[in-house]
Amino acid sequence: MRLNSSFFNKIGKMLDFYSQFNPSPLSIKQFLDFGMNKCESKSYVFLKKELPVRLANIMKEIALLPDNLLRTPSVGLLSNWYARSFEEVIEFEKTDPTSDNLKRFCMILSHIRDRHADVVQTMAQGIMELKDSQNIEPGMETSIQYFLDRFYMSRISIRMLINQHTLLFGEGSEHAKHIGCIEIDCDPKIVVKDAYENARWLCDQYYYGAPEIVVKEHNELERGEPINIVYVPSHLYHILFEIFKNAMRAVMETHQERGDIPPIQVIIVKGNEDICVKVSDQGGGIPRSSADQLFKYMYSTAPHPSKSDVHTVPLAGFGYGLPISRLYARYFHGDISLMSCDGYGTDAIIYMKRLSDEANELLPIFNKTSSRFYNKSTVSAGDWSNQSSLDMLNQWKLIREGN
């Protein structure tokens, strides 16, 4: 289901044109300034230029994926979604912000958001289709990992732009404490408890029980004052929900037969640079040999979902929960760090920028540097002594042939 040549001829030149430009990252403060001024015309003028740039940049990288992956039905479908959305947005390229155009633009953005609602699952299904059809070599896996980080980060950024505009200027979108999807006085403790309760419900359905939670706050800057942050609460919720699911599963599988379920400990800390949320469990920990695999899209400790479950069980068994959660954290220059004691438990620390003007979007840029990561002839050679036996033998063979 790859795009036909006539369609590419129609939008190809525009795609080449917009992919020459770098995306313009915004800070949370800039998003707020846009929203508080609430000038639909300014938002329209910015988005009709910025959205094609972001779409074109990632579409160029999609085209560099291995042919076998591009030919899968799922990735073909996804490519068509992006091309159609790009075409719809560039129709507004030379239009003025009249009342009719503003209304139509907002409606088109809503349609694009709905069209791309299943992008994560669809791309994941495409990877599964590729794995079913052939063995994926390490070089290809590295390229796919590189691409998926950039692809999903691009998706997060595009949805952020679309959600801000449609929430601010669409019908019935007013919310007292929000500017678009940004909460100006977000209480991390509330988000923690919300994510915990929903994860607990899932855990209880499967294990007939769930660990309790203990939440504490430490405000180093304003002793005794509650901790608040200007942030997108849905992003923080997504991260916490995934971490709680993993922690609860580990705790229940480690302690359920013993009958003594230790609680999950959460501490929220406000420091000079970051606001951190640390989630600590006693779920047995993670071996160091497996720790690096947890943020890889092709690794999962759960069974892969069947094709019929792809759209009914969100991300179940794909292994995408932690990698995408880390992207949500990194999107505004935060991060996620995992520290584990094998045999005891794991600490997951979420970092968020304390100051909204320092919380800038982290966006992928398509250029010659990024293109090299998809070059099949590029083979990374190990440069440390603990390489595999095969690599060592190959190097020894090359040395002997050289002599």
Tokens of 185: 């006085």
Catalytic residue among 60, 61, 246, 353: 246
> Using CA atoms in the order 392, 394, 395, 396, what is the torsion angle rounded to 10 degrees?
80
**Is 246 a known active-site residue?**
yes
**Is 242 a known active-site residue?**
yes
The DSSP symbol for 27 reads B
Tokens of 15: 């795609």
**Is 245 a known active-site residue?**
yes
| Residue 189, CB-side half-sphere exposure with 13 Å CA sphere | 14
Catalytic residue among 238, 278, 333, 353: 238
- How far apart are the C-alpha atoms of 238 and 103, rounded to whole Å? 31
As beta bridge partners, residue 186 has 229
Catalytic residue among 165, 245, 270, 353: 245
Catalytic residue among 50, 61, 242, 361: 242
Tokens of 247: 């922690």
**Is 397 a known active-site residue?**
no
Nearest CA to 281 out of 187, 205, 209, 212 is that of: 212
Nearest CA to 331 out of 123, 57, 28 is that of: 28
- Sort 338 into a burial class: Cβ within 10 Å, 0-12 / 13-18 / 19+: middle
Nearest CA to 240 out of 281, 300, 290 is that of: 281
Give the DSSP letter string of 323-363: HHHHHHHHHTT-EEEEEEETTTEEEEEEEEESSTTT-B---
Which residues are tagged catalytic? Answer: 238, 242, 245-246
